[in-house]
Structure 1
């Protein structure tokens, strides 16, 4: 803080008294001296009192080295100087009061400036902490989102593990009776052949009366149909094992087309009446993945597409490869996805179906699985109608 300029400066007469004060002082001095008195400024210009007396003898009003004004009167010189000393003391008191006032004002201004600086510093600190709080809040929200995704993925992994164990148990329990049923059917075919060889040994009228030709032919057809049914059961068990990947629990190099074919066979039994399910699979290079998880993701997308189309509609599963990615697309010719709905279809628990029509987690789980594999999933409404979901997985 610097107050020297205001503290040491020299005053002028007008800073210490007003012309009205000067008139009153001169009037009182005129009463004492018995003659008109005038007060002049440092330049000799009349400032107060009787202007005509300004041409009389003068006594300086000196505060420091230079006079700030003069008293003028035709009285005795000694009396005029005495009056000037009295006025000087009054001016000196005014000057000291002004100096103290200026000093106080300088101090107040300095304190105010310091408070302003502190206020600006506090504002800057507040803004910094507010920004930090916003950053921390964003990080907390991001961590909460990641935790929610990890929980869903963990739930899905546990669910798939349970499905895998169930599939393994079902496959084991089915394969055992399936083995001896297959064996018995083969034996029965041989028995039918042996019965047919007895035709010449049985009287013709007896053979014809028992209609054994029809019995043998129909029994052979029944055995053939039964063998086809057993083969279909075996294929279903194989597809179920392939879909759940009960024998392949870890990350491995996988033929994704084989997984899609198994999935296609499993979901074919779920297609609504009148809906066509088609596949257009192009050759794909092997890819490192968790087959069971990807099967679940593609199953959710296909189920969503099947639910979107009506009778007479179709769903098409496609696969293709680029230099850097494997691309899997699911097209449907349903009503498509409304623009106001599209941004939310992968959000947890978001569904356009009525109460009990879905949990709103199918596409969310599919997205989480695809993202876990480093891929992307996107949905659009096709220009020709219907919706398309595209999954891209890095090679």
Structure 2
């Protein structure tokens, strides 16, 4: 091969390699037509790879062989210059074909490598997808478990806050119940003593022959007074039992935080119950004012909302320095129930306002608050689709506003 043929990689190709992919019959025909004589191409070992194996020289003096260094020999009975031109053309054709085949192979190899790489990535993606799918399923399970844990923890916090509130009211509630129980017991003791007088009168009835004697016994036992007093003590006892029943009924709303059943409730009734439960706690601290407008029934969890109202009321009571006032106002506007609680207490410091809804944040003395009231209250209100906001100024008072949506048909 001549040195002007180009790349070193072609030096490693033999004639057999260079003829790959070429229609040998068409090549031989074309060369014979070009030279006007039969041709033959031999490899360096003398094997004929193209054309007639023994070309003849019918014209004396003309050369028969031309070199295709270093790949072989071309033979034809033609002038030397034409044979050399044919040899150069053939080498150029063979080298060009070799380059084309090599480029084609490289292209195919590149495509195959790209395909193999894409296949590898596809397999890796499928494996990754399987891992992510398994991870997602595991994550979904863990999320469900965490949500369940959070819900259980939240329920425990609600219960803890409720018990803390009711526990704080326990002494006052006990006093409210003990008062009627005390006079009911006293009335029953008195009634028992009256039975002795009735027994005496009753003993006379079977043997009494003189109505005058019966009248004397009646007057001696002061039965007219006993009759009137019995009416009074019975009425007082009935009133006392009704008072106890009312307290128990009001407390009942705060014993159902762990129930999931929602129901239609009148929030005005719920607010009155809360105020009744906290009456002893407010006595001597604040004057309670109720400005309750007409409200539609709300589909809600009464126990939880009652807990919210109680927490807000107790916070207002704690904010009182001297005798102040706490005013409740309810209204129905824009298809929402709005509850506003204003107090004239000491208010909230500006530095504390960003933290009032943080769990366990409290400005009360140790042992007087868990710091869960407002945090739990806001969560409950939000669970009802509502909003709880607080506005306060130091030494002026605080306004708590609760807005709850009323769904159509509620």
TM-score when normalising by structure 2: 0.49
- The residue aligned with 2:251 is 244
- Residues 1:319 and 2:324 are matched in the alignment: no
Q: Give the stretch that moved more between structures: 170-179 or 280-289.
A: 170-179
Partner Cα separation in structure 1 for residue 286 and residue 294 of structure 2: 26
How far did residue 265 of structure 1 move?
3.6
Q: How do 1:314-393 and structure 2 match up within 5 A?
A: 314-322=325-333, 324-333=335-344, 334-336=346-348, 338=350, 341-342=353-354, 345-346=356-357, 348-353=359-364, 355-367=366-378, 369-370=380-381, 374-381=384-391, 386-392=398-404
Write the mapping of 1:1-395 to structure 2, written as runs, cut at 5 A.
Answer: 14-16=5-7, 78=63, 81-84=65-68, 86-88=70-72, 99=101, 103=105, 106-116=108-118, 118-119=120-121, 122=124, 126=128, 129=132, 132=136, 136=140, 141-153=146-158, 175-182=180-187, 237=244, 240-245=247-252, 254-271=265-282, 275-287=286-298, 291-308=302-319, 310-311=321-322, 314-322=325-333, 324-333=335-344, 334-336=346-348, 338=350, 341-342=353-354, 345-346=356-357, 348-353=359-364, 355-367=366-378, 369-370=380-381, 374-381=384-391, 386-392=398-404, 394=406, 395=410
Say whether the 8 Å CA contact 1:243–1:295 is kept in structure 2.
no
User: 1: distance between equivalents of 2:118 and 2:352?
Assistant: 51
TM-aligned CA distance change 1:258 to 1:139, over 3 Å: closer
Q: Deviations over 1:240-279 (max 9, x none)?
A: 3242037997976655434423422442432496655433
Question: What is the CA–CA distance in structure 2 between the aligned matches of 1:277 and 1:171, rounded to whole Å?
Answer: 18
Q: CA deviation at 1:390?
A: 1.2
Q: Structure 1 95/318 Cα, relative in aligned 2: closer, same or farther at 3 Å? A: same
Q: Please, which moves more after superposition, 232-241 or 156-165?
A: 156-165
Unaligned runs of 5+ in 1: 1-11, 22-58, 66-75, 189-225
CA separation in 2, counterparts of 1:169 and 1:313?
A: 25
**Aligned partners of 1:78 and 1:176: how far apart in 2?**
145
Aligned mates of 1:124, 1:232 — CA distance in 2:
78
Q: Is the 8 A contact 1:335 1:387 kept in 2?
A: no
Query: CA–CA distance in 2 between the matches of 1:380 and 1:313?
Result: 19
CA 1:105/1:292 → structure 2, altered by over 3 Å: closer, same or farther?
closer
Other structure's SS at 1:278 match? strand
C-alpha deviations, 1:264-310, integer Å up to 9, x for none?
24424324966554332223345566655433221111112333454
Q: How many Å apart are 1:107 and its aligned residue? A: 1.4
Gap change, CA 1:391 and 1:351, over 3 Å in 2: farther
What's the secondary structure of 1:298's corresponding residue?
Answer: helix
Q: How many residues align?
A: 292
Q: How far apart are the structure 2 equivalents of 1:147 and 1:322?
A: 35
